[in-house]
Amino acid sequence: MRRRLNLACLSLLLVAILSGCYLPARFDMEIEIDRRGYYKMIFAGYMVDVGLYSDLKSGKVKGQGEVDAVKLIQRDIERDPSASGFSYLRQGYFQMNWQREGDLLRARSVTFLRRNENIFSINYNKETRQINLLGRGLPKNQKDRLVQAGLNMTGEIRVITDTKVLGHNADEIKPFPARGPRVSVYIWRIPNIYRPTPRMQITLR
């Protein structure tokens, strides 16, 4: 009985915190930005629908309910023309790819997956000609609850650029001579959900 109550309480907490939220579980992300402001952003990996994961774990959803929920998730993901390769695994986990490219000076802002599911964003400030790259951050207590529920995150983010970098918290920087003498790749390794939020600031001046 106590175990059932704990599962129910945890489920309510997760739904209250991240209802309908997608969490990257295992992924690879690569971003290219050049001095002209052209960008390319690619994501490939596994995501989890936290709400469905919670409902399945608590027994609130099962059988046909899971099938119906997955159809809704697939419809939600595939309405974005940048998304492809949706494949459901189990327990709320699914695989997907996402790719977008263009002129950041015109777009001003690019968000993966979208504004109400902001997992990683790139924003351009016309006045300062600066670009900010930022991953989604969560308070430690929310991270603790996700881990207690059996969820986590692991992956790698790479930013390839020939711009002037003003600041970052990447784990490693490597020259990328194959792309040019001024090009470098900044690498963030995400061993778990507690890794500090990836961030980077560059200028086009």
Going by CATH, does the domain composed of 2-203 fall within 2.60.40? yes
Q: What does the alpha-carbon distance between residue 168 and residue 199 come to, in Å, rounded to a whole number?
A: 6
Q: Which residues contact 5 (CB under 8 A, 6 or more apart)?
A: none
Paired with 169 in beta bridges are none
DSSP 197: P
**How confident is the model over 133-141, as a mean pLDDT?**
93
Domain boundaries, the chain: 2-203
Does residue 149 come out as left (phi exceeding 0), alpha (psi in the -120 to 50 range) or beta? alpha
Q: Model confidence over 169-196: pLDDT tens digits?
A: 999 999 999 888 999 999 999 999 999 9
Answer left, alpha or beta for residue 6, where phi above 0 means left and psi between -120 and 50 means alpha.
alpha
Tens-place pLDDT, residues 18-30: 444 899 999 999 9
Could you give the angle at the alpha carbon of 144 between the alpha carbons of 3 and 57, nearest 5°? 40
CA pair distance 92, 41, nearest whole angstrom: 25
Query: pLDDT digits over 149-166, tens only?
Result: 999 999 999 999 999 999
Q: Are the C-beta atoms of residues 94 and 73 closer than 8 Å to each other? A: yes
Give pLDDT tens digits for 42-89.
Answer: 999 999 999 999 999 999 999 999 999 999 999 999 999 999 999 999
How do residues 85-125 score in pLDDT, each as one tens digit? 999 999 999 999 999 999 999 999 999 998 888 999 999 99
pLDDT above 90 for 10: no
Burial class (CB in 10 A: 0-12, 13-18, 19+), 183: middle
